[in-house]
Amino acid sequence: MLERSVSVARSLAPVAAAGEPGRVNLPLLKALAAAGLLAEIFRRSGSGYEPTSAMALCEIREGLARHCTEAETAFALQGLGAYPILLAGSQPVVEEWLPRIAAGEIAVGFALTEPGAGSDAASLALSAVPSGDGFRLTGEKAFISNAPDASVYSVFARTSDAGSRGITAFAVPGSSGGLSGTRQTMVSPHPIGRLVFDDVYVPASFVLGSVDDGWRVAMRTLDMFRPSVGAFALGMGQAALDAAVAHTASRQAFGRSLRDFQAVSHQLADVATRLHAARLLVHDAASAYDSGQGRTGHLSAMAKLFATETAQVAVDVAIQVHGARALEQGHLLEHLYREVRAPRIYEGASEIQREIIARHLYR
């Protein structure tokens, strides 16, 4: 699966480059579907769909990230946004949305973060008040990937004052009356935006799972996807290391190759060692999740923490040994330098991952 996604990534680079930054690239989504990668995470099972393996998700994301981070992100966002629907949606909701998401015809968003609830996601304030045969949602979401262009969002809203036990998940169509959005300009080529819910009506049939059980839906989704965030980072780190090795093998300075300076080659040896260790952590967390061992959140946290922090180091070292040319706009490493920073924040910042690990130690 890793080598297949590497090959696909190379072919998708022109499609990704033709997209407009900050906008959903539908041709890229359709190309991912045509290559069979979206089918890997939206597997048909009888009349419905079944979850993919966390390991397959990791291998695809790492392979795509090595050669086309835009394709990787588009792929990952389809999975992250749709998995609450796949895991907890009713059959009619699943059949309304997942076939089009899997075909790359529409984009989907995972709407958890709010202006006042980032790392402390359980404190979200978007309210869902019962109204007739449904709910009315009022409030805001921020830093939502694929917003405001997604056709449907997996939205998490407060239905009671019981903290994380008072949150409910909903499938909310992007065309819902009262739902609006604006773009947020970020250090990112993919669309990110703010959503405003002004008394948005959502039928009770669009609840994902049970009322007040949305936090479990969110955590089931994130526990599966966190190791693959580490895999995404690994792909970028490996691309940076490969570029650094190639450059230092051919670049001459002071009468000899850069590879002959231990100050250079030993830095790359350290990066290679850390990337290998990170890959083992990512695969261990994915295997544990797939085997159904029970609580694997701490393993997912370790994998995401170590892999994303390691990738940041890998890109930084690669830039250092390249020198100023690596910071020219359009250079691979300039691109990776912008891309590698965000994974240390989204789906739980590094500090949150450390807290998850620490709590497991003292359980």
How would you class 273 by CB atoms within 10 Å of its CB: exposed for 0-12, middle for 13-18, buried for 19 or more? exposed
Catalytic residue among 40, 59, 114, 347: 347
Residue 110's beta-bridge partner residues? 154
Q: How far apart are CA 147 and CA 59, in angstroms?
A: 27
Share the mean pLDDT of the chain.
95
Residues 6+ apart with CB under 8 A from 49: 42, 43, 86, 94, 98, 102
pLDDT over 90, % of the chain: 90
Q: Is the model's pLDDT at 294 over the cut of 80?
A: no
Of 307, 45, 92, the residue nearest 205 (C-alpha)? 92
Of 75, 74, 92, 93, the residue nearest 84 (C-alpha)? 93
How would you class 111 by CB atoms within 10 Å of its CB: exposed for 0-12, middle for 13-18, buried for 19 or more? buried
Reported as a pLDDT band with limits 50, 70 and 90, residue 236 is very high
CA 256 → CA 138, 200, 246, 263, 325, distances in Å? 65, 67, 15, 14, 19
Q: How far apart are CA 326 and CA 301, in angstroms?
A: 31
**Could you report the per-residue pLDDT of 158-207, keeping only the tens digit for each?**
999 988 999 999 999 999 999 999 999 998 778 999 999 999 999 999 99
Q: What is the pLDDT, as a whole number, of residue 246?
A: 98
The residue to which tokens 């039928």 are assigned: 203
Q: Is the model's pLDDT at 138 over the cut of 90?
A: yes
According to DSSP, the β-strands at 152-158 and 108-111 are: parallel
Reported as a pLDDT band with limits 50, 70 and 90, residue 300 is very high
According to DSSP, the β-strands at 256-257 and 252-253 are: antiparallel
Q: What is the pLDDT, as a whole number, of residue 187?
A: 86
Is 40 in the active site? Answer: no
Comparing 231-245, 284-298, 317-331, the range with the smallest average pLDDT is 284-298
Q: What is the pLDDT, as a whole number, of residue 120?
A: 87
Q: How far apart are CA 190 and CA 144, in angstroms?
A: 11
Q: What is the pLDDT, as a whole number, of residue 233?
A: 98
Q: What is the pLDDT, as a whole number, of residue 292?
A: 87
The residue to which tokens 């170590």 are assigned: 306
Summarize the confidence of residues 302-328 as an average pLDDT. 98
Q: What is the pLDDT, as a whole number, of residue 1?
A: 76
Which amino acid type is present at position 21?
Answer: P
Going along the chain from its start, the domains and CATH numbers come out as 2-107 (1.10.540.10), 109-213 (2.40.110.10), 215-361 (1.20.140.10)
What the block records as the tokens of 219 is 């955590």
Q: What is the pLDDT, as a whole number, of residue 46?
A: 82
Q: How far apart are CA 1 and CA 4, in angstroms?
A: 5
Q: Is the model's pLDDT at 293 over the cut of 80?
A: no
**Could you report the per-residue pLDDT of 67-109, keeping only the tens digit for each?**
999 999 999 999 999 999 999 999 999 999 999 999 999 999 9
Between residues 105 and 297, the one the model is more confident about: 105
